[in-house]
């Protein structure tokens, strides 16, 4: 959602209304990420991939600790076949 939306926002051929809608979607995604971080929720690799609009394998290939926008993403633990991640807000 985020990466593809940001690329689409930069495309001048899209009508302004569509760019604004895409920007609103980006803001909503960032609010969701902030709530996940603030509440201390743990999310799965597939949930994180959905949030970032990337493939789940791209999440796990980034390692145990990495930055995404305003958050540090950390691999916390494994539950069964699921890897759980935590977002921590950085300013």
Cα–Cα distance measured from residue 19 to residue 24, given in angstroms and rounded to the nearest whole number? 9
Please check the confidence at residue 27 and state whether its pLDDT lies above 50.
yes
44-76 residue pLDDT tens: 999 999 999 999 899 999 999 999 999 999 999
6-15 residue pLDDT tens: 555 555 688 9
The SS3 assignment for 81 reads coil
State pTM to two decimals. Answer: 0.80
Cα–Cα distance measured from residue 89 to residue 34, given in angstroms and rounded to the nearest whole number? 7
pLDDT for the residue 1:
46
**Contact between residue 70 and residue 89 where contact means Cβ atoms under 8 Å apart:** yes
Task: Give the residue extent of every domain in the chain.
Answer: 2-89
Cα–Cα distance measured from residue 28 to residue 84, given in angstroms and rounded to the nearest whole number? 22
**Contact between residue 52 and residue 3 where contact means Cβ atoms under 8 Å apart:** yes
User: For 60, phi and psi rounded to 5 degrees?
Assistant: -70, -25
Closest CA to 87 of 77, 79, 76: 76
């Amino acid at each position: 959602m985020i990466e593809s939306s940001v690329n689409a926002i930069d495309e001048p051929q899209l009508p302004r209304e569509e760019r604004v809608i895409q920007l609103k979607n980006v803001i909503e995604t960032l609010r969701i990420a902030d709530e996940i971080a603030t509440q201390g929720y743990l999310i799965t690799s597939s949930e994180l991939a959905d949030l970032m609009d990337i493939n789940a394998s791209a999440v796990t290939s980034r390692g145990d600790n990495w930055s995404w926008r305003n958050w540090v993403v950390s691999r916390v633990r494994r539950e069964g076949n699921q890897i759980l991640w935590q977002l921590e807000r950085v300013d």
